Amino acid sequence: MEKHIKTIGILTSGGDSPGMNAAIRAVTRTARFNNINVIGIQRGYQGLIDKEFLKFTSSSVSNTIQRGGTILKTARSKEFMTPKGRKIAHENMVEAGIDALIVIGGNGSLTGAQQFAKEFDIPIIGLPGTIDNDLYGTDATIGYDSALNTIVECVDKIRDTANSHDRIFFIEVMGRDAGFLAQNSAIASGAEAAIIPESATDVDQLADFIERGKRKSKNSAIVLVSEAQKDGVGGAFYYAERVKKEYPQFDARVTILGHLQRGGTPSAYDRILASRMGYAAIEALLEGQRNIMIGIKNDEIVYVPISRAVKMNKPINQELITVLNVLSM
Ligand code: F6P
């Protein structure tokens, strides 16, 4: 261990995700097991600037593993994006005796961590906490599995009404720049297609998607659409409008699942993942690691330099696209 690490600060930042509490719990309990003090920082980086500090003990995280959201609260701090904000954050850290930081969050949050670590030479360990699953170097992020299950449950319900009315539904799911949620929820719910930022969709394909449902004598069709904008409007509305104009014989509807995807009880998978990653974060600090993100690859914990986790594009497995295409024919 770097000798000077007596106290760590822990924060959650950016969009919340189910399993963040399990991660906070694992970090806190593992730190205390190793006699490291824990300070919970509320509202992400903003709490570091506003000194929203809480002394955490093992019992501070009791009865939290099953809870969605984050007990530390979260924020997207604009102030932390400025050099002045980061300077105040650092002064407050020093004053509170915080020697290292554990940051749980997505791409933006870990990009902030990287900048902070570079400017002030602070050991930081990142945990991938986002429903989007878009961090490079890890097979899964904390919250992705829970969000996927939530989406599938909703799509199953929409299928009932889509079938009853012979309708085509465009269902918009989260994942601004990444199609993991749309692609995998389409496979898991038996949808006709997924429209994702990683692969282009043209007019002919759209007609084909609609026909797929018909060919299987299902008079309905379900298309999962990643939330990326198209021509200034949400993708799901864009495609629904096109269907209305170009195929008026089909009755199209749009459902936007929105923030319900981020809430709810974490799945068993996310609780286990978060527990393993939280434990690994403290182990990594004890080994002298710094400025890495904890990832999981083939069920093994791995260390990924934060600079790689946030800069590299995580590719979508092409096999998933083929599987959906074949199974929805
Ligand atoms: O980054 C996670 C995420 O849920 C994205 O999928 C989504 O685009 C974004 O957050 C929404 O952010 P907000 O809750 O700030 O509107």
Q: pLDDT digits over 222-239, tens only?
A: 999 999 777 777 789 988
Total-model pTM: 0.95
| R_g of the chain, CA atoms, integer Å | 22
* Three-state DSSP state, 253: strand
User: Strands, E, within the chain: which ranges?
Assistant: 7-12, 37-41, 53-56, 100-105, 124-128, 167-173, 193-195, 221-226, 229-230, 233-234, 251-256, 292-297, 300-305
Which pLDDT score is estimated for 1? 46
CA 260 to CA 30: how far, in whole Å? 31
Sign of CA dihedral 149, 153, 156, 158: negative
Q: Residues enclosing ligand 1, CB less than 6 A?
A: 14-15, 106, 130-132, 174-176, 227, 262
Residue of 16, 110, 132, 180 best suited for mutating to test ligand 1, as the one with most atoms within 8 Å of CB = 132
Spans of the chain, pLDDT less than 50 = 1
Task: Give CA angle at 100 (97, 105), nearest 5°.
Answer: 125
Looking at the DSSP assignment, which residues form a beta bridge with residue 230?
Answer: 233
* Three-state DSSP state, 140: coil
For residue 156, how many C-alpha atoms fall within 13 Å in the half-sphere facing its CB?
Answer: 8
Residue range 27-63, pLDDT digits in tens? 999 999 999 999 999 999 999 999 999 999 999 999 9
- Token look-up 């330099």 returns 305
Residue nearest to atom 9 of ligand 1 (CA): 15
